[in-house]
Amino acid sequence: MSDTGPTASGVRVTRGQRGGWLARLATVNRLSDPTKCLLVSGLTLPFMVGWVVRLSAIRANPETARYISRAFLPTMLAYQWAQLVGHVLIIACALVLRSRGRFRVRWLVHAEIQWWLASFAFSFYALGPFTSPFGVLLLVLPVAGSLIFPARPMVYGFVMLGLYSVLMIGLERAGVIPYAPFLERPPFEDGRLVNSWITSIGGPAIFAAALVLAAHSWIVAQWRLRERELEVLIGTDPLTGVANRRVFFERLDAELARSRRHGNALSLLMVDVDHFKSINDRHGHQVGDVVLADIATGLRDTLRTADVVARYGGEEFSIILPETGLEEATRAAERVRAAIAAHRFPVAAGAVQVTVSVGVACMQPEEAADQLVFRADAALLDAKRSGRDRVTLAAPAPDVAAAPAL
């Protein structure tokens, strides 16, 4: 079987043609669990390294960042080191599990979420819940996390984060712990916010803004991806994978208009499987379905990419041949007929030969879509009456305007 299928417009697409970076972003939640954890911890790691370097420099030089509490600095530095080591361990585990081909590793997902949010809760406490930019992250994390990870680990994580936050705020209000112990005083000098604080806190704020943008882009990507999938679904025959009758008439109208505008030829083939009822009666309807699906694949493989193959109904297929005159269309119909006749369709008893009859019609000036279909279908009926397994050309209508309509 070919790894192709029609879009709602009847054009075949491959798996490698499903969109750009938005389409790839839309599938981030389909990554393996180790890859998701590697992504999240990998994005977090540079911030942890930056904080460890920054705090180490502050501890080495007491004259810098005087707004930081020197008494709390060792605790804050130890916390940053612990957070850094935790993410390094998660990354190491994720790399090992990826190398072993593990896709679903829920304990690693829980560890990633719980560690991330526990660390976040401590930062929330150290910098103060009402005077730090982490409140923005608190709004962003549920959205961003839920887009990447399954719902249950995220619910567990945010239950714990809620408990941490309530406990921390409650203890601070009760006077048990100080508010924002990392700060000795507000980070202002001469009435201006100090640059080091802007640098230290600006990074997480920018990261939060980037998460918001990524979450928005992910939602848009999901919406567009689902829209394309729905478009393909409603325009595709589920059994054969080719366009359905609705799409066939939409494309036929469009190709007729284009042919008249540019003065190009347009031909139509109507293909019907000979004695299909006997196949169902003798081998069963499941075999009949396999035969129809294989014939549809054979039609796609035999014809050009620009040609539109559709299931017209039952065991009948319709094929639009853009920019194709009657002579070339007849050759294409003979190729189709010969290819199917030469193929042996597997059944339980061995193999069965299937033939098709084909009617060919070429567009006439001012001819409507239903009139063209009528002539091609009449030619198909003549082919079946004449003995089947043959190609018959439609007679030109002497008066196109008076041709019967469906």
| Annotated catalytic residue within 250, 315, 316, 367 | 315
Structure tokens at 197: 């604080």
Cβ-defined contacts of 276-284 (< 8 Å, 24+): 276/314, 276/315, 279/352, 279/354, 283/347, 283/348, 283/349, 283/352
Angle, vertex CA 333, rays to CA 327 and CA 334, nearest 5: 95
Q: What is the DSSP string of 68-102?
A: B-TTTHHHHHHHHHHHHHHHHHHHHHHHHHHHTT-
165's enclosing H/E stretch is helix 151-173
Structure tokens at 253: 């109208």
Question: How many DSSP H helices and E strands does the chain contain?
Answer: 12, 11
- Is there a catalytic annotation at residue 63? no
Structure tokens at 274: 């000979």
Rounded Cα distance between 194 and 196, Å, is 6
**Which residue, 102, 59, 100, is CA-closest to 80?**
59
Which residues belong to the active site?
A: 315
